[in-house]
Amino acid sequence: MARPDKVTAVDEIADKFRNSNAAVVTAYTGLTVAQIRNLRRSLGDNAQYRVVKNTLTKIAAKEAGISALDEHLSGSTAVAFVTGDPVEAAKGLRDFAKENQNLVIKGGVLDGKALSADEIKKLADLESREVLLSKLAGAFKAKQSQAASVFQALPSKLVRTVDALRAKQAEQGGAE
């Protein structure tokens, strides 16, 4: 029979997996409490960094429908549960790992898809969602401006052509 505290811990971790759109598994051996506190701050408001027990996390991941993390759940393990922009959290982890060699990104999951450590680092190289959306909006606006210019050019070109024909006819009519 399972102990109530372990059942509660599994339920809590499973809820975090269900409510997160991304989770990044790390090894933290050698980090001090102060360094882990700084790491939590660097992740921003949309991520929660939590030291977990591997066995309980495997059970919780299975309950949440995630099987891609089993290979990463060994040794000292902590998980960053991301509820907002995964790029921001990935950047925070990557930057912290550059400064502190003891933090090792093992892998993770994004919207149910397994990610390797290299894929998480590539995700960190992306611009934030807001920047990408603003670039997309700018591209749409530019295309609309180009289309408006083309549509305006057609009538004005027609008017100039008709004026040129009238002038030519008037010139020819006056020469006779």
Please, which pLDDT band fits residue 91 given cuts at 50, 70 and 90? Answer: confident
**If you average pLDDT over each of 3-7, 136-140, 155-159, which comes out highest?**
3-7
Q: Which residue has the higher pLDDT, 112 or 17?
A: 17
CATH topology of domain 2-125: Alpha-Beta Plaits (3.30.70)
Which tens digits make up the pLDDT trace of 30-89?
Answer: 888 999 998 888 887 888 998 899 889 999 988 888 888 888 888 889 999 998 888 888
Q: How far apart are CA 12 and CA 86, in angstroms?
A: 21
How confident is the model at residue 128, as a pLDDT?
A: 66
Is pLDDT of 1 > 50?
no
pTM score = 0.68
Q: Which residue has the higher pLDDT, 68 or 9?
A: 9
CB 73 within 8 A of CB 89: no
Q: How far apart are CA 72 and CA 28, in angstroms?
A: 13
